[in-house]
Amino acid sequence: MDFIAIGDTVVDEFIQLKEARVHCDINQEDCTISMQWGAKIPYESAIMVPAVGNAANAAVAAARLGLKAGFISNIGNDRFGEDCIAAFTKEGVDTRYVAVHDGIPTNHHYVLSYDTERTILIRHEAYPYRFPTASVAPAWIYLSSLAEHTEAFHAEIVAWLMEHPEVKLAFQPGTFQIRMGKDALAALYARADVVAVNKEEAEQILGLGETDVRTLLRQMRALGPRIALITDGKNGSSVFDGTEMLHVPMYPDPTPPIDRTGAGDATTSTFVVALALGKSLSEALSWGPINAMSVVQAFGAQKGLLTRDALESYVANAPASYAVTAL
């Protein structure tokens, strides 16, 4: 197998709000959304999307781009769990290591969408996490968001990786992994070939306030990974491997975005897949934002994920303004 993702999978239920008000600071950042408390608020639509989550999105991205992809995760023995397995199977993602549990429901998140942005109400169930020690050693492991109180599971992953030094590791820490702190996960950061985060996450991991991307790249890489990747929304993405520090802008949106859920996952997972396919650092950096551009053209984190032929067509026909440059 080429690529195995590890992380929680969820069913996302998108609720498109109809009446709300957004308040931002003078830089159009740090925005909040408000609705009338105690009222009955109409909404436009509700759409259910199974088998998503950071690692799940990465597994599907890898499969669509041509890698033999698998997934290590947990679901409940319920209808939502069945929907997740069916969705992964349709995408060609190997689910042999997805554990099914009686008495614990499948993770279910609610995505409140308004305009092109969203806020996600999350809940990760307390599964009995176990690493499948008999699992096939892939070329790449892609580790991302897991629930709280999974320190023992992370230790199992580290132990397995130490026994398989030939396996490359990409680490995209999720909310609870970031809260665990860089010291608690020092072995993972040090073992990683790629650590991928957004700018705000890098600042949180490093315990810094507002910091320029060049400094963040150097300090994230100082945690031990071979490559540090930082995404920064509309400001593009940047990468540092100890020698090259590169930047790429957002790929221009062909039409206004519908929903930005999964854009970061698309960028980071596509970058890792490109490296797995033998692409250079510069080429891999240019691939990520293209898949992100496609993802935001539809609801959900996976519908817009591209095949390799489609992605390479975008690369070949990219506008002159879309170029990788030294940072």
pLDDT tens digits along 64-121: 999 999 999 999 999 999 999 999 999 999 999 999 999 999 999 998 888 767 788 8
For residue 212, the model assigns a pLDDT of 97
Give me the amino acid identity at 287: W
Q: Is residue 304 part of a domain?
A: yes
- The answer to whether the beta carbons of residues 281 and 75 sit under 8 Å apart is no
Q: Token pair 């891999």 is at which residue?
A: 284
- Does 167 score more than 90 pLDDT? yes
- Does 132 score more than 70 pLDDT? yes
What is the Cβ-side half-sphere exposure of residue 17, based on CA atoms within 13 angstroms? 21
Give the residue-averaged pLDDT of 17-46.
82
Give the pLDDT band (50/70/90) at residue 134. Answer: low
The helix, strand and coil proportions of the chain, stated in percent and rounded to the nearest 5, come to 35, 25, 40
Q: How many Å apart are CA 289 and CA 285, to the nearest integer?
A: 8
Q: Is residue 28 part of a domain?
A: no
Q: Token pair 């692409």 is at which residue?
A: 279
Q: Is residue 35 part of a domain?
A: no
Give the residue-averaged pLDDT of 176-180.
95
- Smallest Cα–Cα separation from 250: which of 233, 266, 262, 238? 233
Q: Is residue 75 part of a domain?
A: yes
In 181-205, which positions are buried (b, 16+ CB within 10 angstroms) versus exposed (e)? ebeebebbbebbbbbbbbbebbbbb
Residue 46: domain span: 3-20+42-326
Strand, helix or coil for residue 312: helix
Q: Is residue 25 part of a domain?
A: no
Give the pLDDT band (50/70/90) at residue 122. Answer: confident
- Does 133 score more than 80 pLDDT? no
Phi-psi region of 68 (alpha: psi -120 to 50; beta: other; left: phi over 0): beta
Q: Is residue 36 part of a domain?
A: no
Q: Is residue 226 part of a domain?
A: yes
Cα torsion 120, 219, 277, 161: sign: negative
Q: How many Å apart are CA 268 and CA 70, to the nearest integer?
A: 17
Q: Is the pTM of this model over 0.85?
A: yes
Q: How many domains does the chain have?
A: 1
Residue 249 DSSP label: -
Give the residue-averaged pLDDT of 200-229.
97
Q: How many Å apart are CA 140 and CA 157, to the nearest integer?
A: 13
CATH number at residue 221: 3.40.1190.20
Q: How many Å apart are CA 39 and CA 283, to the nearest integer?
A: 51
Least trusted range by pLDDT, from 33-37, 180-184, 313-317: 33-37
234-252 pLDDT per residue, tens: 999 999 999 999 999 999 9
Q: How many Å apart are CA 248 and CA 275, to the nearest integer?
A: 16
- Smallest Cα–Cα separation from 6: which of 105, 97, 88? 97
Q: How many Å apart are CA 197 and CA 227, to the nearest integer?
A: 12
For residue 26, the model assigns a pLDDT of 72
Q: Is residue 77 part of a domain?
A: yes
For residue 33, the model assigns a pLDDT of 83
Between 45 and 135, residue with greater pLDDT: 45
For residue 325, the model assigns a pLDDT of 98
For residue 232, the model assigns a pLDDT of 95
